[in-house]
Each structure stands twice: as structure tokens, then as C-alpha cells.
Amino acid sequence: MITITPIPALSDNYIWVLQKDQQAIVFDPAQAHPVLDFFAKHSLELTACLLTHNHNDHTDGVAGLLERYPDLVVIGPQETAQFANQILQPEQQFGLLGLSFEVIESAGHTAGHISYLVDREYLFCGDSLFSGGCGRVFTGDYSAQFAALQRFKQLPDFVLVYPAHEYTQSNLKFAEAVMPPSCILLEYQERADILRAQHRPTLPTTIGIEKQINPFLQAVSLDEFIALRQQKDNF
């Protein structure tokens, strides 16, 4: 049985823990101590650390994890080579904990950003896709980011999406400003507000939901995506 749990970190990060029995994997450890505390509390064995891209709020915890687990397998794209001891390429496939992992190219936020599709059911997408939004295109390569979103749109609607930040409420405010009124968007906003009032995550979301409430996934052309992304940058 698979269990996926968010460990809150920094101001709005989630470090996702994928657990199977007493073995587990962490994604994008922003900090080490909350991970170490969680693993100690639940008597888990840390099997691997997976990175999506090279930003401090996704990699700063790696050093601390390696201090505690010197033989830890750290996996990531080429841009994380200073942290990772196994480097992956887009479309590469591998296995961990008896699960299948597929690497999805999702550049734009950074030049080498990747995402992980686990068992064709769980998408760990770092900062490339958020609920109701997508990452800032720091590279200026809007074409790469738009292409990443098109790849995500091809995934089955049932795929669960695990972004690395709790940005849902602010993203939905922008979605409300640029999309036609809809019952699903209103209901999703209300759900997000209730969950956050209870200090609970709004995530995961699903590809099916995002195709209905995420304006960036609804953009039908690169030009439309660029206009939306630049509008969101100044929203």
C-alpha cells in the first residue's frame, strides 16, 4: 500500500513523502530537520531523495539528509548535479520500492526542470504545475513551459498531482479574474478556503480538475500562454 504525505517546510513548501510499508522516498527537501523528525516519528527508512530542479527551496535539505544517511541515493536532473549522485534524462524510466518512475521534461521554470510520474498515477511536478497555476518562467523560455503543460494535459484525468507549494488560493484568485464564471471553479475555491482555514493542504489535485480550473492548461496557443503568464506575473 502506498501512502503519500506532505511535510510542510519554509513558508509554503511541501516536501512529499511517498511511503510503501516502512520504506519511503522524499521529493524536493527544502529542509532536512522536518524530514528527519518525520522519519524518526514514524520509524521509516529513507530509501531515496528525488529532486525536480535546482532551486534552494527544493534542495537545501539534501546536505542534512546526507549527514544522517551517507549512502542515500539522491536522484535529479543534470542541473542538480552538485547534490545528486544519480542524474536523469527526460523520458528515462526507473524503479524504486517496486514502483515505476517516468521522467517528464518540464522545463521553463528552470532549464532542466523534470517531473516524476509514478506508476502512471502520481505526478510529482515541483514548480512546473500548481493547482490553478504554473511556475514563473524564470528562464524566459515560454515555449518550454507551454510544452510541459501540453505533456501534462495528455496524462489521464485520474492522475493525482503533487506540486511543491501551497499556492492554490492565490492562483484561484487569478483564475477567477481571467476565466468565465463556472460552478466547478467556485466550488474548488470554497473547498480550498475551508481546507486552509483548517490548516490542511489543498493538495493533491488531479489532472482532470486542473484542466477545468487552471487557466494555463486551458491556453490553446503559445501566444495565449505567454499573455496569461505575464499577466499573472503582475497580478
- What dihedral do alpha carbons 55, 142, 13, 91 form, nearest 10°? -80
For the chain, what percent of residues have pLDDT higher than 90?
100
Checking 88-94 for CB contacts under 8 A at 24+ apart, the result is: 88/114, 90/114
57 annotated ligand-binding residue: yes
pLDDT tens digits for range 156-186? 999 999 999 999 999 999 999 999 999 999 9
Cell reading at 156: 489521464
Q: In whole numbers, what is the pLDDT of the chain averaged over residues?
A: 97
55 annotated ligand-binding residue: yes
Query: How far apart are the C-alpha atoms of 57 and 34, rounded to whole Å?
Result: 14
33 annotated ligand-binding residue: no
Which pLDDT score is estimated for 206?
98
pLDDT tens digits for range 94-150? 999 999 999 999 999 999 999 999 999 999 999 999 999 999 999 999 999 999 999
The residue-averaged pLDDT of 75-80 equals 98
Which pLDDT score is estimated for 113?
98
- What dihedral do alpha carbons 67, 72, 77, 81 form, nearest 10°? 50
Neighbouring C-alpha atoms within 13 Å toward the C-beta of 52: 33
58 annotated ligand-binding residue: yes
pLDDT tens digits for range 195-222? 999 999 999 999 999 999 999 999 999 9
Q: Assign 47 a pLDDT band (cuts: 50, 70, 90).
A: very high
165 annotated ligand-binding residue: yes
